[in-house]
Amino acid sequence: MNTIALDMPGDGADIGEWIASDMRAFSEKANAIWESARAADEDHPYRLKYGLGGELIWVYGEPGFVNGEDIENAVVVPFFEGSTNRITAIRFIGTNDNGDEHDVWLRGDSGHGGTYARIGAHKTDTLLLAPNFSDALSLFEATGDRVAVPADSSSLGLVAATLASAHPDTRIVVCATEATRAEAEAAARMIGAPLAIPATGTTPCLYEDFNTLYQQSGQAAVCAVVETAMVPKSSSEIDGTPVDIIPWPIQIPSIGELVAKTERMIRRFSILDEFQVLTVALWIFASHVMDLMPFAPILGLFSPTMGCGKTTLLNVLKHLVRRPVAAGGLSPAFIYHVIERLMPTLLMDEGEHYVGKDRAMTNIINSGHTHIAGYIGKVINGRSKMHPTYCPKVLAMINLPAGTTYDRCIPIHLRRKLPDEAVEQMHYANEAEFAQLKSMIVRWANDARPLLMQARPARLNVSNSRTADNWVPLLTVASLGDEALLNRAIAAGERMAVSVRNRLNDGELLLRDVKPIFDATGRKWLWTHELLDILCSDEDKQWRYYCNGKPLSSRALGEMLAPFGIVSKDIRYGESVKKGYERAAFEDAFARYVNSSTE
């Protein structure tokens, strides 16, 4: 930098006036000021106060002023715009012999909020985000890691996001004092970064700041804190409830790009087809805005056996949905409370153990589908109370739930992966990638709320109205993207509706499978065991695995046919008398539910 060409003011001049004379040249003039700084003397008050080396501290060595404030011998700290070399502000730290500090700022007109000071060069794979300048100097001197310093603690999140975007493969550690811990913890959680606090042993926040830790406990103590720092938990240490992640503070991709990014994340850990992965991605987005939707479809993760990836996909969802709460094993009373307090996303694993068996849990699951009717009434101590049950829910289970639950689901049928199908292991997942993606989704949800409230996408064109209801939230989300995203969402909805063949009513589907059997045999009656043998002979039909993985039983067959007025009777053939069904008993049901089908 040629400082002479910029006509630097002489000794005793007001730097502020020189800067203000041409704000368009702020960065060049600020850079000239920074290049004119010199290393602080050994007896400089700032060095003495913090016990730091002079090679880290640079001062304005000439007589001068900023808007009347004396800056001679003040520490000079330049702040850069993001990861660029453009200086947008300079902080002068004046320190008297008593150690009292006062700040003087020169600020450009840049609207970029993610400005930060930098200390150190790229020599390690770790980047520290410090709460203040003196701590930043102490951290660098102790660890040798690069350090970034925001202008103030209120911009910690903005700087954290800026750093994470610019350095995706770098280990970023957010460092906090007790005074800045809340902001630092939120920033660390947002980018999935470890949080370091100035403590030793088991005593939390024993030291006021990192400079005090460094001076009193030495270099090794500071290094140990940084090296052992952990990502903050996503739930409260007090009651285990989920902690909201703050919205991504800098520009986010479009909804189409974000959905694609989410799809790629899901595919890394789960074996799903293109329609399923888009469905799961859109449902994740919908979970963050389900309070605006008329319906809350259950995302059903179903598999015929263990080992098909239900729990893995559930864990992926846990990292991305709004306020995840693991609901398996929780009491109905607790679930009522947590829905009323948080409107969380309930993650229900191993549903085969309680769906359809635990009446209270089943009622919670089924009643929360429609926003306007998502309540269950209870009488407590003689007083009536309406408990809200409307919230996003994920149900993972072996086999399928009863029709009353299934028709409230968007079903994802999972399969055991083949030996040549590779996925990543969740326990090796990069927390930072999940956290940053979720923060971007949260930002999208916040920004999109006014548009979502006005959105009225066309309903899914399928014969079953409940299936169309289930897809309203997903199509609403997709409608805010381009035409390609909406068309993909519609195609996924239609494909999945066809693929499950409206199993929504077991009895209706049973009728559709029984009629071809009577038609093919030409008989007027069938013994029960004959009908069951034919129904269960097809590996692609659910009847082969209907009763908890075993073939459909005569009892289950009778229970499904009874609502249609169809009952078995004793049928004699020759010398044999066995239970069976006459075709005549089916004719009315065939006319109403099969012949009139719009499939």
- DSSP string across 364-376: HHHHTTBSTT-EE
Q: What is the DSSP letter of 131?
A: S
The predicted pLDDT at position 14 comes to 84
- The pLDDT-based confidence of 203 (bands split at 50, 70, 90) is low
Q: Which segment, 215-229, 238-252, 458-472, is predicted with the most confidence on average?
A: 215-229
How many CB atoms within 10 Å of residue 41? 13
Which part of the chain has CATH 3.40.50?
255-416+427-502
Which of 67-71, 456-460, 494-498 shows the lowest mean pLDDT across its residues? 494-498
> 323 near 236, Cβ under 8 Å?
no
The predicted pLDDT at position 499 comes to 58
- The pLDDT-based confidence of 599 (bands split at 50, 70, 90) is very low
The predicted pLDDT at position 548 comes to 66
The predicted pLDDT at position 1 comes to 37
The predicted pLDDT at position 3 comes to 42
The predicted pLDDT at position 6 comes to 59
pLDDT at residue 219 greater than cutoff 90: yes
Residue range 293-333, pLDDT digits in tens = 999 999 999 987 788 899 999 999 999 999 999 887 778 88
Q: Which residues pair with 128 in a beta bridge?
A: 147, 173
Listed residue (287, 291, 289, 308) closest to 299, CA to CA = 287
The predicted pLDDT at position 384 comes to 67
Q: Where are the alpha helices (DSSP H) in 401-479?
A: 403-406, 431-454, 465-470, 472-478
- Output the CA angle 435-441-444, nearest 5 degrees: 145
pLDDT at residue 546 greater than cutoff 60: yes
Strands 569-573 and 576-582: antiparallel
The Cα–Cα gap between 142 and 220 comes to 8
The predicted pLDDT at position 453 comes to 94
Mean pLDDT computed over 129-154: 93
Give percent of the chain with pLDDT exceeding 70.
92
The predicted pLDDT at position 598 comes to 41
375 versus 405: the higher-pLDDT residue is: 405
- Range 255-416+427-502 has CATH code 2.30.29: no
Listed residue (430, 218, 220) closest to 319, CA to CA = 430
The Cα–Cα gap between 184 and 58 comes to 27
What does the mean pLDDT of the chain come to?
87
The predicted pLDDT at position 501 comes to 52
The predicted pLDDT at position 378 comes to 64
Q: 112-233 maps to which CATH number?
A: 3.40.1360.10
Listed residue (119, 46, 53, 52) closest to 80, CA to CA = 119
Class of domain 506-594: mainly alpha
The Cα–Cα gap between 478 and 462 comes to 18
End-to-end Cα, the chain, rounded Å = 75
Mean pLDDT computed over 3-17: 67
Which part of the chain has CATH 3.40.1360.10?
112-233
The predicted pLDDT at position 566 comes to 92
The predicted pLDDT at position 2 comes to 39
Residue range 374-400, pLDDT digits in tens = 777 665 666 767 888 999 999 999 888
The predicted pLDDT at position 475 comes to 97
Residue range 472-488, pLDDT digits in tens = 999 999 999 999 999 99
pTM for the model stands at 0.80
- The pLDDT-based confidence of 514 (bands split at 50, 70, 90) is very high
